[in-house]
Amino acid sequence: MDIGFLGQYVVNGLMLGMMYSLVAVGFTLFFGVLDIIKFSHGDVLMVGAFAGLTTFFGLEAIGIESAWIQLVTIVVVSCVLTGILGSMIGKYLVLPLKSAPALNTLLITLMAGTVLRECIRLFFPDGSNPKPFPSLLPSESYSWGNFTLRLDSLMLLIFGTLVIVAISLLINKTKLGLAIRAVAQDGETAKIMGINFTLVVIVTFAIGSGVAAIAGIMNGLYYNEINFDMGLLLGVIGFSAAIVGGLGNIYGAILGGFLFAGLQTFGAVALPFASAYKDVFAFAVIIMIMAWRPTGLIAERTSERV
């Protein structure tokens, strides 16, 4: 195998890892504050991507052509709308079920995800077909032998890293983050401290969902295509990544995301004759890791939650 091709795989793997991590962080945040699995997360991501695309159409329609303004607006509008969607799911579907068995929350969010998916498929113009996503990032690329680094990939990687750093700072260095961690460890005592429990939960849902929207837009920019069912696989992968990293721990989620992408990439390199099986390979390894460490790589006992 040529070193240049290998480099290509690495960049691709990092990109996937970034997206998976961003999805996994959401799962881990929701589990952290409420001990629940929100299965609509992948579909919320998909709505984020479609909100971005719609914003793009809107900007084109009013004649704003600058790619940078478009990009920033798309990210901001999509994050805000998706954050609102996520907090509504938290407030109206998840919080009311707080004292019900966790299985009920799982079921209701699973159904909510299906509703979102079907709504986009049915009501977005020609929603059942893949939609081209505009390439808004510079298209230059640099080549060294067989290795081509596209500037847009590099920018997405840097942006993704910044988002991850920002979340980690938010959780670990701000007062809101302290409140989120307190609620995650002991919701009732957090209330005694004067923390508005409901508000913290809703804000956490908004943050996790906004981050998913970023993953959705990254996905669109990278593949130049989005699809009404893109959230299904991304959701399952993000969920697996969060679990394998140790649910409730954001570093675990990030580790899990990159691990899964690494496995997929390794599968594609090692099984070139059958690279279509890379997902099967990655999930199989995840299953083995789970059998080996049932509570995830960074077990909750030994690490700080959220």
**Tokens linked to 294:** 């049932």
* Paired strand residues for 56: none
At 147, give phi and psi (nearest 5°): -95, 120
Q: What angle do CA 233, 50, 151 make, to 5 degrees?
A: 80
CB 230 within 8 A of CB 220: no
Site for another protein contains 2 (CB under 8 A)? no
Site for another protein contains 188 (CB under 8 A)? yes
Measured CA distances, 301 to 77, 249, 305 (Å)? 38, 11, 9
Site for another protein contains 186 (CB under 8 A)? yes
Min. distance of Cβ 178 from another protein in angstroms? 6
CB 220 within 8 A of CB 201: no
Total of chain residues touching another protein, rule CB under 8 A: 20
Helices 230-245 and 41-61 pack at an angle, to 10 degrees, of 130
Site for another protein contains 196 (CB under 8 A)? yes
Site for another protein contains 194 (CB under 8 A)? yes
Which position among 14, 19, 179, 218 is part of the footprint of another protein (CB under 8 A)? Answer: 179
Site for another protein contains 197 (CB under 8 A)? yes
Min. distance of Cβ 298 from another protein in angstroms? 13
Site for another protein contains 125 (CB under 8 A)? no
Which position among 24, 94, 167, 190 is part of the footprint of another protein (CB under 8 A)? Answer: 190
Min. distance of Cβ 200 from another protein in angstroms? 10
**Closest CB to another protein among residues 69, 100:** 100
Min. distance of Cβ 254 from another protein in angstroms? 18
- Give the integer Cα–Cα distance in Å for 42 and 234: 6
- Give the integer Cα–Cα distance in Å for 216 and 45: 5
Site for another protein contains 291 (CB under 8 A)? no
Site for another protein contains 305 (CB under 8 A)? yes
Helices (H), 35-101: 41-61, 67-88
**Closest CB to another protein among residues 18, 33:** 33
Q: What angle do CA 296, 302, 306 make, to 5 degrees?
A: 75
Would you give the binding string for another protein spanning residues 146-175, x where CB under 8 A is met?
-----------------------------x
- Of 35-43, 127-135, 157-165, 179-187, the segment contacting another protein by CB under 8 A is 179-187
Which position among 119, 157, 195, 269 is part of the footprint of another protein (CB under 8 A)? Answer: 195
- Give the integer Cα–Cα distance in Å for 98 and 204: 15
CB 260 within 8 A of CB 17: yes
CB 135 within 8 A of CB 152: yes
Min. distance of Cβ 195 from another protein in angstroms? 6
Which residues are near another protein by CB under 8 A?
Answer: 175, 178-179, 181-182, 185-186, 188-198, 304-305
